A = this chain, B = another copy of it.
């Protein structure tokens, strides 16, 4: 951490700031310039509260050099994390994992039919929303526990592990007992109580990036989960909010090589929510594979035109199967299986 302070700051106050920092076990070096002095902080700066230092009136700027996260950082954990979800491994050089399924679980028949379809097409996990975050209180909010039950039945039949979103801490037991990968949705990425509760389990967590959250904030939310003891975090990019409205969100594929560089966690791409149009899903999926993602989570529906939510962005099972075929070929070129 580098702190710049005005050259004319009273000596007494600079020294009080330095002592304040040193009291936390850090070393401080000072460099005297013409208009500013520079303090270099040496040691573990993750415990320094930047806003507190920023309040000293003659502090001009504070620059992080070390990252504010530790457990998610590749620096302290050079090997890739590989997460085992009931035998399906994700991360590292493991085969790229495709998760497929409907936006919402709508009925037993629907999820059964789709589950078998995506399995045959090559999916390795089944996704499906039971508790649905919806902007309006007046539209379908998911089948809730009934949806979880149908997902479990689909798992029993297909042996695909299930991925589904948990919106509230009070459902923790239900999810820990029944679900294989617990999803944290974009709107809850900074619901810190939820993150902490999930950090106390040992379940794999699929942590979606928030609508307008930076890479650093996203990693800090993963740090929340890991700092409570749960190392099984899978990051999921699902598009960010920008000025552009011709797609639902703007898919930021550059996070794939960036995450790979700064973190050891697996990174999954959700092209369905990111674009909002099924016609863009195939090309964005292939792009994600070419860019090095560890997994894809894709909406698939048996009757997209009758879907109760997000039908616009769902593929048919047939289209999904073709996508996987092409994806496998691209994966091979960059040295991965799928």
Contact = CB atoms under 8 A, between A and B. Distances in A.
Contacts of A250: 240, 242, 250, 252, 254
Nearest to A280: B257
A299 to B, nearest CB: 11
Interface of A: 2, 4, 29, 31, 33-36, 38, 40, 42-43, 46-47, 49, 51-52, 54-57, 60-61, 63, 65-66, 68-69, 133-140, 167-170, 187-188, 190-194, 196, 210-217, 220, 223-224, 227-228, 240-247, 250-254, 256-258, 261, 274-275, 279-280, 283-284, 286-292, 304-312, 314, 326, 329-330, 333-334
A311 B241 CA distance: 29
Given A192-B167, A283-B292, A36 B57 contact: no
Please give me the 6 A-B residue pairs with the lowest Cβ-Cβ distance, nearest first. A55-B311, A212-B212, A287-B287, A290-B290, A168-B193, A286-B290
B243 A212 contact: yes
Determine the main DSSP class of A at the interface with B: mixed
A309 B31 contact: no
A245 B307 CA distance: 28
A34 B43 contact: yes
A246 B308 contact: no
A335 B300 CA distance: 25
Given A244-B240, A254-B284, A279-B257, A311 B51 contact: yes
Given A137-B192, A210-B211, 20 more contacts: A2-B4, A31-B40, A35-B65, A49-B140, A51-B307, A52-B306, A52-B309, A55-B307, A55-B312, A63-B63, A136-B220, A169-B169, A240-B244, A242-B250, A253-B284, A257-B279, A283-B290, A286-B291, A286-B334, A287-B291
